[in-house]
Amino acid sequence: MTSASEIGPISQQYSAAATVPLIKSPSLWLPKPVELPNDIHPLPEDITAYFVYPFTLETHVLSLQPSPHEAIAQRRARNAQILHQREVEEEQRDQSGDETDGSQTRSTPSSRTGLQPLRAPRPQISVNGCYFPIRYGGTRRPHRGIDNERGHGGAVGRFQRRGHTDADADPGAEPGVGPDGRPGNPAGGDGESAVRARGGLERVPVHARCGGVTHATPKLGRVGPDGGQQRRFEDHSRRCDVLEHIAENTSDAHHLDRRSRTPRFTRACMLLLRSQPQHDRLWGDTTGTPRTDQPRTEISDASLSFLSLLTSLPTTYRSMATSSHPLAALLTQGLEAWDDLVSRLSALTLGQIWCAVNYHPFPRPVNLAIFAIVLVAHIPRLTRWWASRRESRRVVRFRWPVPKEVTEGWTGRPLDEPGVFAHEKDDTLLPPEAGRTGSPTRKHLTCYDPATGFHLTTLPLLTAEEVSEQILRAHNAQPKWAKTTWAQRQSFLRSLKAWVLDDMEGIVRVACRDTGKTKVDAVFGEILTTLSKIDWLLKYGEKTLSPEKRPTTMLLAHKVSKVHYQPLGTTLALVSWNYSFHNLLSPLLASLFAGNSCVIKCSEQVAWSSAWFFGGVRKCLEACGHDPEVVQLVICLPEVAETVTRNPLVRHITFIGSEPVGRKVAAAAADIMVPTCIELGGKDPAFLLPSADIDFFASTFLRGAFQSAGQNCIGIELFLVPRSLYPRFLSLITPRVSALRTGLDVGSLISHTPIPRLESILDEAVSQGARILAGGKQYHHPGFPQGAYFEPTLIVDVTMDMEVARTELFAPVMTVVPYDDVDEAVGWLKAGRFGLGGGVYGANKRECESVAERLECGMVAINDFGVFYLNQAMPFGGVKASGHGRFGGPEGLRSLCHVKAITEDRLFSLIRTPIPGAVDFPLPPDSTSWGFLRGLVRLAYDPRWWYKLLGLGEVLQNASG
């Protein structure tokens, strides 16, 4: 630190140096140029202020120090030499009788020859030894209510003058230099010679630049009778002015708490404001040792505002102590102790506090040694963290070739009657090894493309005994998998994610070939959702399943309570066919990340694609060095699946499918007492409010209704449109639905089975008054006549008593129901059987939220469609006939774990819980037990503090028994 004696007299230019030793986030230091007012010149010498913000306990030591630039000292020495030489010359002229007006001499150009401006190359602010630029002066703005005349310098400011004009200024003054070489008004004149006025007080605006905004604050300046403007601030006042500006600027520049940016709070928190002699008495020498040869300096009265608050707190209790209150004696003793504490605090100095905690703003050998010891102690932990981080980010590349059926130009054998049992009518569809797959009565499954009718393959079905063997293999592989670290599981997920990204086109082609959907629908429903699932598990899976600390009560203050999430064992997932890739991977990945093994029973409709997807997962496990037996794929018929759900090795069942099958799964799970997550069908509505912008949301409505040909769990099947928007809605939607191209814009159904039922329901609705404006029947594709297509359909004028409005169609049908009253329409939906998802559309946020809250369903999207599932941090599931339980989000991941509560001593083996004698067996014969327990209850739960004291007394009195 450079002292004042090394630089020169007080008339030098100073720069602000701020040392902030206790700031929580040094990385946020982004100092802006700090501008200090030129009005406060000369700056006080060697002053220091200590700011303590009581809520954050942050300490800021702000100090003004001489500028470290040697150029200033050299210029000052040169100017002093020139001025001394001129004084000698004036004395000689006086002795020779040459009388000259001193003021004219000072104003002649020759009197300034050779003087150099005392201006640092670039003023700087020091933050822990790092220098950043600051500025003095700046653009001046006249303070409101003060009549300022035009002054002599934009950088210095406009000074108010009495009875003088600009002609009083020194026309020959060198810009930026005062009569003694001190920096003054750059545009001519300085702070002392620019104004010649009578004595008295004048208001001079003082400006500071805080956060890019120039503020003006009136300060008092004194105009001396000697003809020069002498702004003789009191030392204390000048220190306050400078330090307030520094504090405000540095607080704003360092992004501190907003409370510390207000000047009022800054002044309230200024605990110490001392000149250098007082600083020495308080702090001692530069090593921080207090000096004992000086009397103790207490904190100033203005700095004790927070202590006065402490003194005023017990005012209410003082009145109680002087009254006839039963606890008056106890209150009196407490207040005496309080007053003694306040008196001791008011007598403390900040230097004593710092010395007591051995604090020093600069590094000491002891501090460095402590830091080194702590660092060395954490080296093993840091090493483990780094190794785990590297392992978790490891990506293992592997190759899983796509089947030939998805290559360009492939053409398969068309089936005359496509179906999963087509081989029973045409035995040529059976594989050549059918006789070697076991018993001659073994059943098979025909896999085909529903969009073209092409035969893909015929797979043998597993028997109940073979399925049980698969579950046993998964069960045996689970303990080893449960011992894997989070980093190993994350590495597996990253490797699988890399495979999805690298082979995305092949995955999409396989999904389209087995389900008949378009590529666009496959990317939306298969790729985006799966990658979202993987990313959520990577970012939040470990945090979700890590032990979670829970709060305790006062009686258990010496305990620590945590919730641990442990693997269940082997989980079973029975998934639907509409999204063959995502529905297979979603429960499998969640189960594996939780430490479980997983058995997947896929739908017989998509057995071909599921087998290929599952092979990729097993290949990834093998490439990462894990046992692929931890996952198993079951391909069987529903009658065998019922025996799978009753297997005693299964610890959790997830089901995605139809309501009738879901009821059977729930009944089977109840027999073996395992938890279930069941997601069934739905009749998701799009609730259009009168304020809805249907022109904007028209495309959203089409995507919600015809995504994957309407075979979407959360697809929009019911549109509730107000009468006021009904004509516009029909005129906007009808031509767009009619323009949809079957086979290009909308894919096929999963099979021909649902087509007769759809035509029957639509015909019944038309007979009851509904109108079909587009579609409504099976579509015969000219290129693929065996394809299972249904025309995109728009049916309007539907009422809620029709079957088409109450039954899940799972088809490309857009059902429109007009309504007159919002409350009535909400009642219709609440009376329905389903409650999976829904959407609310409108321009009024409060109205949309109100309707969303009243809908009885598991998920709602406001002014959007289905985004609640794309966000895998959200739980997915329904209510009523749409199922129960949740998968996705923390709720779904934790449902795959045992939840275990563990409580232990906070200071292990040091503080333990003894059984008090009052309640120890055998119980005391008197009422000691009752008195002890009554006091314990009062102490812990009674809201009245005096009863808590009485309870404490009873506990202490009866504790020994």
pLDDT of residue 80: 78
Q: Among 215-229, 466-480, 715-729, 730-744, which is the least confidently predicted range?
A: 215-229
- Confidence class for position 365, pLDDT limits 50, 70, 90: confident
Domain assignment present for 85: no
Pairing status of strand 793-796 against strand 813-819? parallel
Facing residues of 218 across strands? 205
Convert the pLDDT of each residue in 566-620 to its tens digit.
999 999 999 999 999 999 999 999 999 999 999 999 999 999 999 999 999 999 9
Average pLDDT over every residue of 869-886: 95
Helix ranges (DSSP H) in 809-944 = 822-830, 845-854, 867-870, 889-894, 928-941
Secondary structure (3-state) at 342: helix
Q: Is the pLDDT of residue 404 over 90?
A: yes
> What are residue 456's phi and psi, to 5 degrees?
-100, -55
Residue 692 lies in a domain: yes
What's phi and psi for 448, nearest 5 deg? -150, 165
Of 654, 679, 704, the domain-final residue: 679
Residue 725 placed within a domain? yes
Same domain, 623 and 760: no
In a domain, 180, yes or no: no
| pLDDT at residue 541 greater than cutoff 70 | yes
Say yes or no: 615 and 760 in one domain.
no
Three-state SS at 567: strand
Residues 753-806 have pLDDT tens digits of: 999 999 999 999 999 999 999 999 999 999 999 999 999 999 999 999 999 999
713 and 662 in a common domain:
no
The 3-state DSSP class for residue 345 equals helix
**By mean pLDDT, which of 94-103, 613-622, 883-892 is the weakest?**
94-103
Does the pLDDT value for residue 315 go beyond 80? no
List of residues 6+ apart from 180 with CB closer than 8 A: 11, 79, 83
Query: CA–CA distance from 860 to each of 82, 604, 744 (Å)?
Result: 84, 31, 30
Q: Residue 316 — very low, low, confident or very high, per pLDDT cuts 50/70/90?
A: low
Closest CA to 678 of 526, 898, 861, 876: 876
Higher per-residue pLDDT: 167 or 396: 396
Annotate 201-257 with DSSP letters as a single string: EEEEEEEEEETTEEEEEEEEEEE-TTSS------HHHHHHHHHHHHHHHHHHHTT--
For the cut 60, the answer to whether the pLDDT of residue 189 exceeds it is no
Residue 816 and residue 919 in one domain: no
Residue indicated by tokens 């007082």: 278
Rounded distance, CA 811 to CA 794, Å?
11
State the pLDDT at residue 150. Answer: 32
Tokens at residue 113, please?
Answer: 């020859």
Which residues share a beta bridge with 796? 771
Told to judge if 679 belongs to the known catalytic residues of this protein, a careful annotator would answer: yes
Report the range of poorest mean pLDDT among 12-26, 504-518, 931-945.
12-26
| CA triple 907-912-918, angle to 5 deg | 150
**Would you state the pLDDT for residue 55?**
35
Domain identity same for 675 and 689: no
Measured between alpha carbons, how far is residue 13 from residues 44, 135, 247, 763 in Å? 11, 12, 19, 94
What pLDDT score was predicted for residue 94?
76
How does strand 685-688 pair with strand 213-223? unpaired
Confidence at residue 327, expressed as pLDDT on a 0 to 100 scale: 62
Q: Please answer whether residues 502 and 496 qualify as being in contact, where contact means their C-beta atoms are separated by less than 8 angstroms.
A: no
The answer to whether residues 713 and 836 belong to one domain is yes
Alpha-carbon distances, residue 570 vs 478, 544, 648, 885 (angstroms): 7, 20, 10, 18
* pLDDT classification of 29: cutoffs 50, 70, 90: very low
- What total of structural domains would you count in the chain? 3
- In this prediction, residue 171 carries a pLDDT of 37
E strand spans, 452-593: 455-460, 548-550, 559-567, 570-574
Instruction: Flag whether pLDDT at 676 surpasses 90.
Output: yes
pLDDT at 632 over 90: yes
CA 153 to chain centre: 50
Q: How many helices (H) and strands (E) does the chain have?
A: 32, 29
CA 643, 807, 724: angle at the middle one, nearest 5? Answer: 150
- What is the longest distance spanned by two Cα atoms in the chain? 142
Decide if 334 is inside a domain.
no
In a domain, 764, yes or no: yes
Q: What is the CATH number of the domain that holds 471?
A: 3.40.605.10
Name residue 352's amino acid.
Answer: Q
Helices 607-623 and 486-502 cross at an angle (nearest 10°) of 130
Q: Quick one: 929 and 813 in the same domain?
A: no
Question: Cα-Cα-Cα-Cα dihedral of 464, 467, 473, 478, to 10°?
Answer: -110
Q: Give every CB contact of residue 13 below 8 A, 6+ residues apart in sequence.
A: 67, 72, 118, 119, 120, 123, 136, 182, 183
Residues 673 and 692 placed together within one structural domain of the fold: no
- Residue 434: the pLDDT is 55
Higher pLDDT, 104 or 439: 439
Q: What is the pLDDT of residues 736-754, one digit of tens each?
A: 999 999 999 999 999 999 9
Q: Are residues 808 and 762 in the same domain?
A: yes
Q: What pLDDT, on the 0 to 100 scale, is given for residue 328?
A: 66
Mean pLDDT of 46-73: 43
If you average pLDDT over every residue of the chain, what do you get? 75
Between the alpha carbon of residue 656 and those of residues 445, 660, 793, 875, the distances in Å are: 21, 12, 26, 15
3-state helix/strand/coil string of 103-156: HHHHHCHHHHCCCCCCCCCCCEEEECCEEEEEEECCCCCCCCCCCCCCCCCCCC
How many angstroms separate the CA atoms of 535 and 545, rounded? Answer: 16
Whose CA is closest to 156, among 175, 172, 131? 175
Query: How many whole angstroms separate alpha carbon 664 and alpha carbon 776?
Result: 33
- CB proximity list for 29: less than 8 A, separation 6 or greater: 23, 127, 253, 254
One-letter amino acid at 836 equals L
pLDDT of res. 115? 62
What is the distance between the alpha carbons of residues 319 and 935, in angstroms, rounded to a whole number?
Answer: 28
CA distance 909 to 229: 76
pLDDT tens column, 298-308 = 334 433 444 44
Given 822, 840, 864, the domain boundary residue is: 864
pLDDT at position 317 = 56
Mark whether 733 and 793 lie in a shared domain: yes
- Are the CB atoms for 584 and 610 separated by under 8 Å? yes
Instruction: Output the pLDDT for position 180.
Output: 39
504, 606: one domain? yes
Q: What is the mean pLDDT of residues 176-190?
A: 38
Give the pLDDT band (50/70/90) at residue 523: very high
Helix (H) or strand (E) holding 861: strand 861-862
Instruction: Tell whether the model's pLDDT for residue 655 goes beyond 50.
Output: yes
Average pLDDT over residues 721-748: 97
Instruction: Say what percent of the chain tops pLDDT 70.
Output: 64
Catalytic residue among 35, 58, 405, 679: 679
- Domain stop point among 679, 698, 724: 679
User: Is residue 611 domain-resident?
Assistant: yes
> What pLDDT, on a 0 to 100 scale, did the predictor assign at position 79?
75
CA–CA separation, 809 and 816 (whole Å): 14
**Model confidence at 398: pLDDT above 50:** yes
Q: Which of 80-84, 159-163, 403-407 has the highest mean pLDDT?
A: 403-407
pLDDT in tens, 905-916: 999 888 888 899
Chain CA centroid to CA 37, Å: 40
| Cα 107 to the center of its chain, rounded Å | 65
Question: Is residue 46 predicted with pLDDT exceeding 70?
Answer: no
On the question of pLDDT at 367 being above 50, the answer is yes
839 compared with 47, residue with greater pLDDT? 839
* pLDDT of 223 strictly over 60: no
Structure tokens at 482: 């449960």
| Amino acid 441: pLDDT | 73
pLDDT at 518 over 70: yes
The amino acid present at 391, given as its one-letter code, is E
Q: E strands, 500-558, where?
A: 548-550
Is residue 476 one of the residues assigned to a domain?
yes
459 and 558 inside one domain:
yes
- Containing domain of residue 941, as a range? 914-959
Give the model's pLDDT for residue 128: 35
User: What pLDDT sits at residue 260?
Assistant: 36
- pLDDT-wise least confident of 309-323, 600-614, 688-702: 309-323
- Mean pLDDT score, 624-645: 93
Q: What is the CATH number of the domain that holds 805?
A: 3.40.309.10
Judge whether 576 and 525 are in contact, CB under 8 Å: no
At 1 the pLDDT is 36
In sequence order, what are the residues at sequence separation of 6 or more whose Cβ sits closer than 8 angstroms to the Cβ of residue 99?
none
* Alpha carbon distance 454, 448 (integer Å): 5
Which is it for the CA torsion 426, 431, 432, 437, positive or negative? negative
Query: Which is nearest to 806 in space by CA: 815, 797, 794?
Result: 815
What is the C-alpha to C-alpha distance for residues 852 and 860, in angstroms, rounded to an integer? 6
